[in-house]
């Protein structure tokens, strides 16, 4: 059973603002029945351009219903500009937190809000140039980028928890990983202090332990640090990686990229016999 | 608040008679059955009795019964033994709707280089026997098909399947965790080589299971250790649980008729009333080839976890095949294999009864569930459009 906060339970059992606003100023529908949750949000402004009324209809689990209820409560009384600044984390915080696997419910709320405001402003709902990354859940690169940026996500699993992307067939995991790396690379400061050898080894070990091994283990693989010679990082593959034909690609595109990102851009990964 | 427990395919309560039988073996008679003293020896005698009780339930011989720690262990031991005794064969035949105990094991074995054939099922959850026949090859080390499905209760014709397997020299294992105690099983009347049973699905405690191995079947142990279970499963026997499971098997044999009359009638009553009172609902799985205690019903345009949590407010316990309850983002693999549309799969609820359920409990659920579904449909954006379409047509 999920561990929901009392606030989530309360908003699920007694949801506020269920329904559809008559003659709405902004309205949007996100999600789909195939994805397992969907939200229709509508709102109306008063003469001072503040949100007077906001209502929702939601198909989904308890946390999806509670997130929708919370969202409508939060935006009432706000101007459109203020409402634009509400993030998915604000929705989760309003509910006293959501289980990690359910964060996508708060993201759905945020998406519906944005789309409803765009509808009010007469702007195109779809961001121009957005590409579908996850076919199963229809998640675009823009959505994933934003979730990574706003929630400081570091792994594919986290992206799935927040956006559902990657939760189906799993074919897009590499693409998601690349987006995560790209966004996180942007966030890094350009200038790095020069590392001593011992600092470098420690940081490599920490990066392997925290960032790299968990996601390899997720696929049944593993990696072991054998030695560090200058900028050459010598590793041995274990588990599923040891017999995997694609492990070269994983080492180059994932492990090396990660270490360059987290430790030093000059590092080179090399596989050695165990 | 009273608990209405309709989740007996997940686990069952330990029968009071079983608990009573077990008690003395924790404290008074705690001896090791392998010991040379009569303090331990008297426990060994009780284990023999339990083995006979378990054998009697399925028409087996006592020495064909091995006690394990759970159904999952039994499945692992059976499949791994078949692979070990046929090291030259690299192919396994199973189905798309197996319990994770078999399914995940096969996925794991696929990573180790085994070829896995997962047989499909039709929209009623039934197996295509011709496809089974075609998939069996000289390279097949084992065919493992469940006797009855845990989510839908649909029964596979395993007694026919084993004959197809044997015609091609393929050993056969069945996961009978859900069917044992619910439908008659007589190993004298079939040629199944290995069969798994779990104690806690038939009113014995958790942490005890059975692997049936037909006499003459080649077997390589999974758990290597002492001489227990004639060297086929090392580890000091879980004496209270084995003795409890023996008693539970005796009770199950006695309750078999109730299971197929009174329990079945309550299940049918629940199913009929819910389908009648709740529009856009339907049963998943074949109506006839089905366990007497299980019904899996989809309520369209609502989501399973939300239904379960509202049922929880009334103390009603059941399960769902929706994505949100599984922790993954896709609905149950069983419903997907049956091609149940997403609109239905997300709102599926499994009710599984036991001999302890009463008429009042079923009436209570029949009263509350329509209210719950209506309440959630009132919030669902899809239901609004369906209702509008119905009204305008």
A163 at the B interface (CB within 8 A)? no
> Do residue A167 and residue B330 have CB atoms under 8 angstroms apart?
yes
Is A36–B323 a contact, with Cβ atoms under 8 angstroms apart?
yes
pLDDT at residue number A14: 96
Q: In the structure, what pLDDT confidence band is assigned to residue A43 with cuts at 50, 70 and 90?
A: very high
Is the pLDDT at B392 greater than 80, yes or no?
no
Question: Exposed/middle/buried for B276, CB within 10 Å: 0-12, 13-18, 19+?
Answer: exposed
DSSP, collapsed to helix, strand or coil, labels residue B198 as strand
Contact assignment for A40 to B301 by CB distance below 8 Å: no
Question: What is the spatial distance between Cα A159 and Cα A173, in angstroms, rounded to a whole number?
Answer: 10
Is 90 exceeded by the pLDDT of residue A207?
Answer: no
Sign of the Cα pseudo-torsion (B389, B329, B324, B202, in order): positive
**Arithmetic mean of pLDDT, A127-144:** 80
Q: Which of A35, A57, A62 sits opposite B381 (nearest CB)?
A: A57
What is the CATH number assigned to the segment(s) B16-252?
Answer: 3.40.640.10
Better-scored residue on pLDDT, B387 or A10: A10
Kindly state whether A167 is in contact with chain B, defined as any CB-CB distance less than 8 angstroms.
Answer: yes
- Determine the distance in angstroms separating the CA of A243 from the nearest CA of chain B, rounded to an integer: 9
8 Å CB contact of B306 and A60: yes
What is the least distance, in Å, from the CA of B372 to any CA of chain A?
Answer: 11
- Confidence class of residue B121 from pLDDT cuts 50, 70 and 90? very high
Write the residue in B111, B325, B382 that is nearest to A33 by C-beta: B382
Active-site residue A136, yes or no? no
Residue range B173-191, pLDDT digits in tens: 999 999 999 999 999 999 9
Nearest residue of B to residue A221 by CA position?
B111
Chain A: give the shortest CA distance to residue B70, in Å: 22
Count of all residues that appear for chain B in the document = 393
pLDDT score for B124? 97
- Which among B306, B331, B335, B343 is the top mutation candidate for probing chain A, defined by the most A β-carbons within 10 Å of its own β-carbon? B306
Between B126 and A145, whose confidence is greater?
B126
Is residue B389 predicted with pLDDT exceeding 80? no
Query: Residue with structure tokens 């199944």?
Result: B192
CA distances (Å), origin A144, targets A168, A180, B37, B376 = 15, 8, 68, 30
pLDDT value for B319: 94
- Please write the tens of the pLDDT for every residue from A110-122: 999 999 999 999 8
Inter-chain CB pairs, A–B, below 8 Å: 75
Please list the residue range(s) of chain B that carry CATH number 3.40.640.10: 16-252
Per-residue tokens: A9: 């339970």
Q: Which residue has the higher pLDDT, B311 or A221?
A: B311
Residue A15 near chain B (CB below 8 Å): yes
Q: In this prediction, what percent of chain B has a pLDDT beyond 90?
A: 92
Cα–Cα distance between A174 and A249 in angstroms, integer?
Answer: 11
For residue A34, the chain B residue with the least C-alpha distance is B342
pLDDT surpasses 60 at B365: yes
Choice among B106, B317, B324, B390 that is catalytic: B324
Spot the catalytic one: A35, A134, A172, A241. Answer: A35
Give the three-state DSSP class for A220.
coil
Chain A residues close to B305, C-beta within 8 Å:
2, 61-62
Work out the mean pLDDT of chain B and round it to a whole number: 95
Name the pLDDT band for B328 (thresholds 50, 70, 90). Answer: low
pLDDT by residue (tens digit) across B133-146?
999 999 999 999 99
Least trusted range by pLDDT, from A232-241, B103-112, B123-132? A232-241
Q: B328 contacts in A (CB within 8 Å)?
A: 167
Q: Mention the CATH class of domain B4-10+256-374.
A: alpha beta
Q: With 80 as the cut, is the pLDDT of residue B13 above it?
A: yes
pLDDT in tens, B39-54: 999 999 999 999 999 9
Res A226 pLDDT > 90: no
Highest mean pLDDT among B32-36, B325-329, B339-343: B32-36
| A107 neighbors A72 (Cβ within 8 angstroms) | no
- Using the Cβ of A111 and the Cβ atoms of chain B, whether some distance falls under 8 Å is answered with no
Task: List the one residue out of A85, A82, A73, A72 whose CA is nearest residue A39.
Answer: A72
DSSP, collapsed to helix, strand or coil, labels residue B98 as coil
Over residues A209-216, the mean pLDDT reads: 84
DSSP character for A23?
S
CB contact under 8 A, B379 and A57: yes
Per CB-CB distance under 8 Å, the chain B contacts of A33 are: 301, 342-343, 346, 382
Measure the CA angle with vertex A242, ends A240 and A245; round to 5°: 85
pLDDT of B253-301, one tens digit each? 999 999 999 999 999 999 999 999 999 999 999 999 999 999 999 999 9
Please tell me the distance in Å from A214's CA to the nearest CA on chain B. Answer: 18
Q: Which one is predicted more confidently, B3 or A217?
A: B3
Which domains can be identified in chain A, with CATH numbers? 6-121 (3.90.1010.10), 132-187 (1.10.10.1100), 197-271 (3.30.300.130)
Structure tokens at B275: 């389908």
For residues B71-78, average pLDDT: 98
Q: Is the pLDDT of residue B228 over 90?
A: yes
Q: Which helix (H) or strand (E) holds A15?
A: none
Return the ∠ at Cα B352 (arms to B357 and B333), rounded to 5°: 170
Question: Among this protein's residues, is A105 annotated catalytic?
Answer: yes
The interaxial angle of helices A103-121 and A62-75, nearest 10 deg, is 40
So what's the ipTM on this one? 0.87
Quick one: pLDDT at residue B388? Answer: 64
Q: What is the pLDDT of residue B393?
A: 56
Using a CB–CB cutoff of 8 Å, tell me whether A162 touches chain B: no
Interchain contact A222–B (C-beta under 8 A): no
Question: pLDDT-based confidence at A124, cuts 50/70/90?
Answer: low
CB contact A34 to B (< 8 Å): yes
Residue A75's Cβ-side half-sphere holds a number of Cα atoms within 13 Å equal to 36
Please say whether the beta carbons of A89 and A151 come within 8 A. Answer: yes
From its phi and psi, is residue A20 left (phi > 0), alpha (psi between -120 and 50) or beta?
Answer: beta
Q: What is the mean pLDDT of residues A38-46?
A: 95
Interface check for A169 against chain B (CB to CB < 8 A): the answer is no
Cα four-point dihedral sign B132, B135, B138, B144: negative
């Amino acid at each position: 059973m999920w561990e929901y906060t009392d606030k989530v339970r309360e908003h699920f059992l007694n949801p506020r603002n269920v329904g559809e606003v008559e003659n709405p100023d902004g309205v949007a529908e996100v999600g789909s029945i195939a994805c397992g949750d969907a939200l229709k949000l509508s709102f109306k402004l008063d003469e001072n351009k503040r949100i007077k009324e906001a209502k929702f209809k939601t198909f989904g689990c308890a946390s999806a219903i509670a997130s929708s209820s919370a969202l409508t409560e939060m935006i009432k009384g706000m101007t459109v500009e203020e409402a634009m600044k509400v993030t998915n984390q604000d929705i989760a915080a309003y509910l006293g937190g959501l289980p990690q696997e359910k964060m996508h419910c708060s993201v759905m709320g945020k998406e519906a809000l944005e789309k409803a405001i765009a509808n009010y402003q007469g702007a195109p709902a779809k961001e121009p140039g957005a590409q579908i990354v996850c076919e199963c859940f229809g998640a675009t690169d823009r959505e994933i980028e934003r979730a990574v940026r706003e929630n400081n996500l570091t792994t594919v699993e986290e992206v799935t928890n927040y956006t559902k992307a990657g939760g189906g067939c799993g074919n897009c995991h590499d693409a998601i990983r690349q987006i995560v790396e790209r966004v996180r690379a942007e966030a890094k400061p350009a200038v790095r202090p020069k590392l001593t050898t011992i600092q470098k080894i420690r940081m490599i070990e920490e990066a392997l332990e925290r960032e790299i091994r968990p996601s390899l283990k997720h696929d049944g693989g593993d990696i072991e640090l054998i030695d560090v010679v200058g900028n050459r990082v010598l590793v041995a593959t274990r588990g599923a990686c040891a017999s995997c034909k694609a492990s070269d690609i994983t080492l180059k595109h994932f492990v090396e990229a990660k270490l360059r990102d987290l430790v030093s851009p000059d590092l080179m990964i090399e596989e050695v016999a165990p | 608040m009273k608990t209405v427990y309709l989740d007996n395919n997940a686990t069952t309560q330990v029968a009071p008679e079983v608990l009573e039988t077990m008690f003395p073996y924790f404290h008074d008679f705690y001896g090791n059955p392998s010991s040379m003293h009569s303090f331990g020896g008297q426990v060994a005698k009780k284990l023999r009795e339990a083995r006979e009780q378990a054998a009697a339930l399925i028409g087996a011989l006592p020495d064909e019964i091995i006690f394990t720690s759970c159904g999952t262990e039994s499945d692992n031991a059976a499949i791994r033994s078949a692979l070990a005794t046929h090291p030259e064969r690299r192919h396994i035949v199973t189905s798309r709707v197996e319990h994770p105990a078999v399914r995940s094991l096969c996925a794991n074995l696929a990573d180790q280089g085994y070829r896995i054939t997962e047989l499909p099922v039709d929209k009623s959850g039934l197996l295509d026997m011709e496809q089974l026949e075609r998939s069996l090859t000289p390279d097949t080390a084992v065919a493992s098909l469940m006797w009855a499905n845990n989510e839908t209760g649909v029964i596979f014709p395993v007694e026919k399947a084993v004959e197809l397997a044997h015609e091609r020299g393929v050993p056969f294992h069945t996961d009978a965790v859900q069917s044992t105690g619910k439908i008659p099983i007589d190993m004298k009347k079939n040629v199944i080589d290995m069969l798994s049973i779990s104690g806690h699905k038939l009113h014995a405690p958790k942490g005890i299971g059975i692997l049936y191995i037909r006499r003459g079947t080649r077997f390589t142990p999974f758990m290597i250790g002492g001489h227990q279970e004639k060297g086929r499963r090392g580890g000091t026997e879980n004496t209270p649980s084995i003795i409890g499971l023996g008693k539970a098997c005796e009770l199950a044999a006695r309750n078999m008729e109730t299971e197929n009359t009174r329990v079945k009638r309550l299940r049918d009553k629940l199913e009929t009333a819910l389908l009648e009172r709740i529009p856009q609902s339907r049963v998943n799985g074949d109506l006839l080839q089905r366990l007497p205690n299980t019904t899996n019903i989809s309520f369209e345009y609502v989501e399973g976890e939300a239904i379960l949590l509202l049922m929880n407010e009334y103390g009603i316990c059941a399960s769902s095949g929706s994505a949100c309850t599984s922790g993954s983002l896709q609905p149950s693999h069983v419903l997907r294999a049956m091609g149940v549309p997403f609109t239905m799969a997300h709102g599926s609820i499994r009710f599984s009864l036991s001999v302890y359920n009463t008429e009042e409990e079923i009436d209570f659920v029949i009263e509350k569930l329509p209210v719950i579904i209506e309440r959630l449909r009132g919030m669902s954006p899809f239901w609004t459009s369906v209702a509008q379409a119905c009204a305008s047509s």
